[in-house]
């Protein structure tokens, strides 16, 4: 990654991801105390990277403890082992003879309970693994754009007060969108991104809360990125006034 000194401001994203070469890192580290804008940008990118990494982590489902404890309650304990010291009554012998099949039955019930629990846990694990894989892929895609040698950054502010940042890489034909201070949408609404292609607005994905997302679509011929509030599920064309329309950085 080679940058001229005049481009030192564009190294913020790569610095936050520890993707700079030693000489570039030293140059940016020397520049950082003197530039408030770069310090704020680095802090935003570091927070975004942390949120994306946390999204890739796997957490046990909240219901797992309840299911385990419920299964344990269904397990019948075996009777205590008592050494055969003296002859026992016929009643005692009969009781022991009945205890064996009861213990076996309890074992079968326990096995069935834990088999069902294991199947449920395996299904939950597969779902969480799939989500983790998708989150890791999103993190890789976003990180690749942020650390691109030709990454360019533009800042804006939506009409609802949210601070926004767009980082674009012409070489990769990709861009990412970051929002901070984005108010929660009303029930049944969602924030939708758009790419402006010579006046034609094309859907470019969603952002539902503060964070960073990869902009969907071809950015090569797009001139600007827009943000609107749309019905849940999105729209084919904007149905409300734009909250933001910002030129893509070049």
pLDDT at position 5:
43
- Of 122-131, 169-178, 186-195, give the lowest mean pLDDT range: 122-131
Kind and range of the H or E run holding 99: helix 90-146
- Encoding tokens for residue 174? 């990709």
- Encoding tokens for residue 73? 């309650």
Alpha helices, DSSP H, located in the chain:
12-16, 22-31, 36-56, 64-73, 90-146
203 pLDDT tier (thresholds 50, 70, 90): very high
Q: What is the pLDDT of residues 210-249, one digit of tens each?
A: 888 899 988 888 999 999 999 999 999 999 999 999 999 8
pLDDT at position 122:
63
Q: Which residue has the higher pLDDT, 36 or 245?
A: 245
- Of 12-21, 49-58, 128-137, 221-230, give the lowest mean pLDDT range: 49-58
Q: What is the pLDDT of residues 55-97, one digit of tens each?
A: 555 556 666 666 666 665 665 555 666 665 555 455 455 545 5
115 pLDDT tier (thresholds 50, 70, 90): low
What is the pLDDT of the chain when averaged over all its residues? 76
Tell which residue, 167, 250, 183, has the closest CA to residue 215: 167
First and final C-alpha spacing in the chain:
17
Distance CA 245, CA 164 (A): 11
State how far the alpha carbon of 210 is from the alpha carbons of 31, 44, 140, 191, in Å: 28, 11, 19, 11
Please identify which residue in the block is written with the tokens 């849940």: 232
**DSSP type of residue 120:** H
Neighbouring-strand partners of residue 226? 194, 245
Tell which residue, 201, 230, 228, has the closest CA to residue 217: 201
Work out the percent of the chain whose per-residue pLDDT is above 70: 61
Distance CA 26, CA 155 (A): 25
Distance CA 61, CA 149 (A): 40
Are 187 and 201 in contact by the 8 Å Cβ rule? The answer is no
24 pLDDT tier (thresholds 50, 70, 90): confident
Q: Which residue has the higher pLDDT, 57 or 35?
A: 35
pTM, rounded to two decimals? 0.54
3-class secondary structure, 43: helix
Distance CA 207, CA 225 (A): 13
């Amino acid at each position: 990654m080679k940058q001229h000194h005049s481009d030192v401001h564009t190294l913020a994203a790569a610095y936050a991801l520890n993707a700079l070469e030693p000489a570039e890192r030293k140059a940016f580290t020397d520049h950082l105390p003197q530039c408030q804008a770069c310090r704020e940008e680095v802090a935003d990118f570091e927070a975004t990277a942390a949120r994306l990494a946390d999204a890739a982590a796997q957490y046990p489902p909240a219901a797992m403890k309840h299911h385990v404890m419920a299964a344990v309650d269904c397990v019948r304990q075996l009777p205590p082992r008592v050494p055969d010291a003296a002859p026992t009554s016929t009643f005692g012998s009969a009781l022991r003879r009945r205890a064996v099949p009861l213990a076996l039955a309890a074992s079968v019930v326990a096995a069935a309970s834990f088999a069902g629990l294991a199947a449920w846990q395996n299904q939950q694990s597969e779902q969480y693994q799939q989500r983790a894989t998708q989150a890791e892929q999103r993190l890789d895609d976003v990180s690749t754009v942020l650390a691109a040698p030709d990454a360019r950054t533009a800042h804006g502010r939506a009409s609802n007060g949210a601070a926004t940042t767009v980082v674009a890489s012409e070489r990769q034909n990709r861009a990412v969108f970051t929002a901070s201070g984005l108010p929660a949408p009303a029930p049944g609404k969602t924030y939708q991104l758009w790419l402006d292609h010579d006046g034609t607005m094309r859907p470019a994905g969603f952002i539902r809360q503060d964070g960073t997302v990869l902009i969907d679509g071809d950015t090569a011929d797009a001139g600007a990125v827009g943000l609107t509030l749309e019905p849940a599920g999105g729209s084919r064309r904007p149905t409300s006034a734009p909250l933001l329309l910002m030129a893509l950085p070049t």
